[in-house]
């Protein structure tokens, strides 16, 4: 299998299936397609990704020539392809709840995503403070994330959202990264969960590789003109 991804420092969508596959030691070949300005007709990224998916976006999983795109579809495909791994909880109700929170992450939290884009190598607490002050949507998203995490951790007993590390944790790993990058204030429960996520093998490997990319892309940097 091949997993097509974008720059690890910036691509939160790519992060989710990559982390999950690395965490569960599912073998794959990484195909990193560097982000560019995505201009129609001039984008090398768009031309390369168009070879495997009509969406023009990453991530894309290709299994023996069969392409699966969209993070939820990829993770569902992997769960069916590798049933020996508990990518989703074994319990039916917990599995339904895990799918619910992943779908909420997939389609929601737009304010947090928009105003605090993924940037794993950056440290921007002053930006985070300003964004929280100015953007009520970010405050609401942050409150909802913490409530969701607290409810799941209390119900499962932890240490991850549904007991063992799974798809839900991979889906929320980029949010955990945003909280770190922008120094967003969270509860002790949320902070401890973030620390556990970042210590997990899959997430730790992604972050490690993101930090050595050293590929500063201005169009992905709304808050910096150069790397600080």
Q: What pLDDT shows up at residue 152?
A: 98
Interatomic CA distance for residues 20 and 179, integer angstroms: 20
Interatomic CA distance for residues 110 and 123, integer angstroms: 21
Q: Which residues of 203-216 are buried (b: 16+ CB within 10 A; e: fewer)?
A: beebbebbeebeee
pLDDT tens digits for 53-92?
999 999 999 999 999 999 999 999 999 999 999 999 999 9
Environment class of residue 219 by beta-carbon count within 10 Å: exposed (0-12), middle (13-18) or buried (19+)?
exposed
Integer-rounded Cα Rg, in Å, for the chain is 17
Class of domain 2-85+213-220: alpha beta
Which residues 6+ apart lie within 8 Å of 217 measured at CB?
A: 7, 10, 35
Instruction: DSSP letter for 190, please.
Output: H
pTM: 0.96
Instruction: Give residue limits of the domains in the chain.
Output: 2-85+213-220, 92-210
The four Cα atoms 134, 138, 139, 142 give a dihedral, to 10 degrees, of -150
Task: Give the angle 109-113-69 at the CA atoms, nearest 5°.
Answer: 85
Tell me the CATH number for domain 92-210.
1.20.1050.10
Q: What pLDDT shows up at residue 228?
A: 58
pLDDT tens digits for 11-65?
999 999 999 999 999 999 999 999 998 987 889 999 999 999 999 999 999 999 9
């Amino acid at each position: 299998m091949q997993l097509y991804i974008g720059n690890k420092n910036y691509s939160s969508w790519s992060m989710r299936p990559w982390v999950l596959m690395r965490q569960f030691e599912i073998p794959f070949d990484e195909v990193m397609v560097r982000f560019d300005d995505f201009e129609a007709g001039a984008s090398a990224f768009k031309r390369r990704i168009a070879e495997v998916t009509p969406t023009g976006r990453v991530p894309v999983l290709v299994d023996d020539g069969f392409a699966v795109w969209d993070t939820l579809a990829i993770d569902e495909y992997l769960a069916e392809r590798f049933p020996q791994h508990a990518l989703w909880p074994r319990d039916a109700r917990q599995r339904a709840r895990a799918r619910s929170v992943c779908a909420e992450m997939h389609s929601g939290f737009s304010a947090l995503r928009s105003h605090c884009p993924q940037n794993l190598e950056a440290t921007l607490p002053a930006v985070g403070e300003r964004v929280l002050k100015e953007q009520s949507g970010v405050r609401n998203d942050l409150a909802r994330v913490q409530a969701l995490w607290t409810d799941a951790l209390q119900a499962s007993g932890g240490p991850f959202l549904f007991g063992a590390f799974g798809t839900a944790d991979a889906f929320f790993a980029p949010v955990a990264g945003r909280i770190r990058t922008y120094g967003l204030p969270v509860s002790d429960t949320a902070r401890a969960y973030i620390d556990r996520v970042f210590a997990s093998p899959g997430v730790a490997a992604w972050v490690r590789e993101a930090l050595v990319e050293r590929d500063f892309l201005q169009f992905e940097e709304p808050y910096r003109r150069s790397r600080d």
